[in-house]
């Protein structure tokens, strides 16, 4: 092979455009005759809608129309689930606009269309909504009592129990020499994007075309949802992807607004734009994470893990959203993480509550599982008086055990196995990076009023969800080549990576790959999008297939022109050569070929986090001295962008570890309704973070050998920080059992430990 763009740390080709302010976000797109939408949302967590009177609002300045459920004959459509769409979930899916009942603060009640967004918002106070309040179900422990139920016909607040099983855990527990049981919980977070969501829709009645701007992540799937809801064939709906300010699993799923705005455009015959504001974003975009585990681990006295068993309870919020089940599913299947655990039995219950519904957020279920198990490993090691790192070494899966089977999840019968890797290797590398011989001496030491602690954890990251991805290559009129993809960009740098892969496969310069188009439904016949760390693996492998087909087609076309055998034709940068002659590539303008990659398996990248922190015991404040993530990604197409993913997701994970928590009161009112209270990491909060990318164990399941690698930084951050705090305060007997590790929580733990010591 002539080229080696793959594996090179190449700067992102999308960056210049962004840095020059030339990105185009949905709010940058304007159309003549535009109406602006503002959405009146429920301020009541749980109640029966008695009446909605919009007549006064219609008289407000600039107001054009107010849409409610009453405008939808037969009632509002339901937003169906995309992942794990089990029949049991059906009754819990969300109507596109509230009717009969409201079930969370933030649920859409009415859409006001006006000449400006401010005028639309001004009209809110002229809409009279009468709601008979019902007792709110504020968390899973209340939900469990079923005194107040969200869905009357169901009669229970539990929508599902996922059961993960491997071996015979009960038998293993019955004969185990040592068992530890703990109750642990994570906070409620969300994949907060810098740019809130936005949808713009236009209806061309003459052509019968509905065009949607602001599509992201999974446009093809969303088009199918909308097609069914609105009664138009998919060919009459076009989804246009714009630049996006962050995805994180939350943007680009089908939300109520993804029906309401296209509906409004068709209803009025005018283009309609809705741009979510931050206050809405906090209550309308998918929440995530809030899970509680009651977990048991059975061990031999030497720390060999024999079995894991327990329950997890997820606070689902009010509806089953498109990907809402993923976190609760994953936490059960990945509870064992990167460790060799022969027997697993986890029951994961999904509880409907009067809060904003949950969806996936980077590392769904894995962040939680990692915190639960890694916390327990440290507690067990301490109790058994064995070294916590040795305990990990003893249990990490090794290369010769691959592929390693993991727990099967019911009722979806999800059988799975890890693909490749020698998991102890990243742990050793991380310890080396942090200079373990030196820092280990600081463990638990009080220096200048601060305790030093080291957190050590290992993680597994899943990626590359199937079933398929599509790519297409086309010769442009100027002899350059364009690349079109069914997957989408949510900021991962896919334009750069796909260009690297295509240039290598075609053996041309990277500049020859002129444009990389993705995400909109117009480019390829089908696409599955950007989730589950899948774009590089799935899209990249599809690019390889497309390149093969494209080269074959070029050779054939070239052979005709050059009068030689197709096998004798080569692509030579800007021309085809063969039989001693050549013909410019531009003369084949329009020549195009698709390629697909089909895949039923998953990739599993893996790694380790080691953090050196201090805790000020008087303030409860944590400071990070040094933090290293080492991750083996199978094959690093672009080490620079992988590292970017690691550091970015680590900062996000540290937010969840120490700052972020969406809090509600017992009436289902959100207490963290702005970014003054929902605390994100700021640029200056975590300066000392390092990432090391390894690619020693390629994935056997795709031709690139690549693995999904967008979540490794976030997954283990909660577990690592909690273990570091426990290590720092080990002389005082402090064991964090929940996230976030807020100063007030750490201080409270220290007071409890002090009172215990005094007894």
Partner 1 sequence: MKLPPFEYACPTTLNEAVALLASHNGEAKAIAGGQSLVPMLAFRLARPSLLVDLRKLPGLNEIKIGADGVRLGALVRWRDIQDDKRLESAHPLLKAAIAHVAHYQIRNRGTVGGSVAHADPAAEMPGVCVACDAVITAAGKGGTRAIKAADFFEGALTTALKPDEIVTEIHLPAWPAVRRSGFQEFARRRGDFAMSGVALFYDLDAGGKATNAHIGTIGVGDRPRRLAKAEAALNGQAVTEALAVKVGEAAAAEVDPQEDIHASAAYRRSLTGTLCERALLAAAR
Q: Which residues bind partner 1 (CB under 8 A)?
A: 38, 116-118, 121-122, 277-280, 618-621, 659, 663, 671-672, 674, 676-677, 679, 681-682, 684-685, 742-744, 747-748, 751
User: Nearer to partner 1 by C-beta: 331 or 659?
Assistant: 659
Q: Among residues 581 and 663, whose Cβ is nearest to partner 1?
A: 663
Residues forming a β-bridge with 273: 36, 200
Q: How far is the CB of 669 from partner 1 (least distance, A)?
A: 12
Contacting residues for 582 by C-beta, under 8 A, at least 6 apart: 562, 572, 575, 576
Least Å from the CB of residue 117 to partner 1: 5
Q: Which of 722, 636, 707, 189 is nearest to 460 (CA)?
A: 707
Question: Least CB distance from residue 43 to partner 1, whole Å?
Answer: 12
Nearest to 473 by CA among 499, 497, 491, 494: 499
Query: For the purposes of burial, counting CB atoms within 10 Å of the CB of 369, is it exposed (0-12), middle (13-18) or buried (19 or more)?
Result: buried
H-assigned helices in 38-89:
55-58
In sequence order, the 6+-apart residues with CB closer than 8 A to the CB of 421 are 397, 399, 402, 604, 605, 606, 632, 697
With respect to partner 1, which residue has the nearer C-beta, 309 or 450?
A: 450
Closest distance between partner 1 and the C-beta of residue 280, in Å? 8
Q: Which is nearer to partner 1, 155 or 687 (CB)?
A: 687
Coarse DSSP helix, strand, coil percentages of the chain, rounded to the nearest 5 percent = 30, 30, 40
Rounded to a whole number of angstroms, the minimum distance from the CB of residue 738 to partner 1 is 15
CB of 135 to partner 1, least distance (A): 22
- Residue 494: CB atoms within 10 Å: 24
Of residues 170 and 677, the one with the C-beta less far from partner 1? 677
CB 480 within 8 A of CB 512: yes
Q: What are phi and psi of 572, to 5 degrees?
A: -120, 80
Question: What's the count of helices (H) and strands (E) in the chain, helices before strands?
Answer: 19, 34
Closer to partner 1 by CB, 148 or 752: give it.
Answer: 752
Residue 615, beta-bridge partner list: 451, 622
Nearer to partner 1, 23 or 673 (CB): 673
Minimal distance, residue 677 CB to partner 1, in Å: 6
Beta carbon of residue 490, minimum distance to partner 1 (angstroms, whole number): 24
Q: Which residue lies nearer to partner 1 by CB, 272 or 473?
A: 272
Q: Which is nearer to partner 1, 76 or 106 (CB)?
A: 106
Q: At closest approach, how far in Å is the CB of 290 from partner 1? A: 15
Phi, psi of 59 (to 5 degrees): -90, -5
CB 36 within 8 A of CB 274: yes
CA-based nearest residue to 333, from 300, 364, 299, 288: 364
Closer Cβ to partner 1, 246 or 673, answer by number: 673
CB of 342 to partner 1, least distance (A): 43
Q: Residues with Cβ < 8 Å from 328, sequence gap 6 or more?
A: 160, 162, 291, 312, 314, 316, 348, 349, 350, 365
């Amino acid at each position: 092979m002539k080229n080696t763009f793959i594996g090179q740390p190449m700067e992102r080709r999308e960056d210049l455009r962004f840095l020059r302010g030339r990105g185009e976000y949905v709010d940058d797109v304007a159309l003549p005759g535009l109406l602006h939408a503002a959405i009146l949302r429920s301020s009541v967590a749980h109640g029966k809608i008695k009446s909605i009177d919009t007549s006064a609002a219609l008289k407000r300045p600039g107001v054009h129309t107010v849409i409610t459920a009453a405008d939808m004959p037969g009632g509002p459509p339901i937003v169906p689930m995309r992942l794990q769409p089990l029949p049991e979930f059906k009754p819990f899916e969300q109507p596109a606009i509230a009717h009969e009942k409201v079930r969370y603060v933030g649920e859409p009640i009415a859409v006001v269309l006006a000449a400006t967004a401010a005028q639309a918002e001004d009209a809110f106070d002229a809409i009279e909504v009468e709601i008979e309040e019902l007792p709110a179900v504020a968390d899973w422990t209340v939900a469990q009592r079923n005194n107040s139920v969200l869905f009357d016909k169901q009669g229970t607040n539990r929508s599902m129990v996922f059961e993960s099983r491997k071996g015979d855990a009960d038998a293993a527990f019955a004969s185990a020499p040592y068992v530890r049981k703990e109750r642990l919980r994570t906070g409620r977070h969300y994949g907060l994007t810098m740019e809130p969501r936005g949808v713009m829709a236009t209806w061309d009645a003459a052509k019968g075309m509905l065009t949607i701007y602001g599509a992201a992540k999974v446009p093809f799937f969303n088009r199918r949802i909308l097609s069914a809801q609105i009664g138009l064939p998919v060919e009459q709906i076009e989804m246009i992807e714009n630049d996006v300010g962050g995805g994180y699993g939350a943007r680009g799923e089908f939300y109520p607004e993804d029906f309401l705005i296209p509906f409004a455009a068709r209803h009025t015959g005018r283009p309609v734009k809705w741009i979510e504001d931050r206050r809405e974003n906090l209550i309308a975009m998918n929440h995530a994470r809030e899970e509680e585990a009651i977990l048991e681990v059975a061990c031999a006295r030497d720390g060999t893990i024999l079995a894991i068993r327990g329950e997890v309870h997820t606070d689902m919020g009010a509806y089953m959203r498109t990907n809402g089940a993923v976190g609760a599913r994953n936490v059960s299947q990945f509870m064992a993480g990167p460790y060799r655990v022969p027997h697993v039995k986890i029951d994961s219950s999904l509880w409907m509550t009067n809060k904003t519904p949950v969806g996936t957020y980077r590392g769904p279920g894995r962040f939680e599982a990692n915190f639960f198990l890694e916390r327990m490993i440290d507690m067990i090691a301490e109790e058994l008086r064995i070294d916590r790192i040795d305990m990990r070494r003893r249990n990490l899966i090794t290369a010769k055990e691959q592929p390693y089977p993991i727990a099967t999840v019911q009722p979806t019968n999800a059988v799975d196995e890890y693909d490749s890797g020698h998991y102890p290797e990243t742990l050793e590398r991380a310890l080396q990076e942090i200079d373990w011989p030196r820092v280990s001496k600081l463990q638990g030491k009080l220096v200048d009023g601060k305790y030093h602690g080291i957190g050590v954890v290992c993680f597994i990251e899943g990626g590359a969800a199937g079933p398929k991805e599509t790519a297409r290559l086309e010769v442009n009129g100027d002899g350059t080549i364009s690349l079109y993809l069914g997957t989408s960009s949510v900021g991962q740098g896919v334009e750069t990576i796909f260009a690297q892969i295509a240039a290598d496969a075609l053996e041309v310069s990277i500049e020859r790959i002129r444009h990389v188009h993705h995400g909109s439904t117009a480019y390829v016949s089908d696409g599955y999008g950007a989730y589950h760390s899948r774009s590089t693996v799935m899209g990249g492998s599809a690019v390889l297939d497309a390149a093969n087909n494209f080269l074959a087609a070029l050779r054939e076309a070239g052979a005709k022109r050059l009068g030689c055998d197709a096998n004798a034709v080569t692509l030579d940068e800007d021309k085809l050569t063969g039989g001693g002659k050549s013909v410019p590539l531009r003369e084949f303008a329009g020549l195009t070929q698709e390629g697909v990659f089909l895949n039923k398996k998953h990739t599993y990248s893996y790694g380790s986090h080691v953090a050196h922190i201090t805790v000020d015991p008087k303030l409860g404040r944590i400071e990070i001295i040094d933090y290293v993530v080492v991750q083996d990604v199978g094959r690093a197409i672009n080490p620079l962008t992988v590292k970017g993913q690691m550091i970015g997701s680590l900062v996000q994970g540290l937010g969840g570890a120490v700052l972020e928590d969406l809090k509600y009161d017992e009436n289902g009112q959100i207490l963290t309704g702005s970014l003054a209270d929902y605390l994100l990491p700021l640029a200056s909060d975590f300066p000392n973070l390092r990432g090391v990318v390894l690619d020693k164990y390629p994935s056997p399941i795709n031709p690139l050998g690549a693995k999904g690698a967008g979540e490794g930084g976030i997954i283990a951050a909660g577990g690592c920080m909690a273990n570091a705090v426990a290590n720092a305060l080990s002389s005082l007997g402090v064991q964090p059992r929940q996230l976030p590790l807020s100063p007030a929580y750490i201080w409270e733990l220290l007071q409890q430990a002090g009172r215990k010591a005094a007894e």
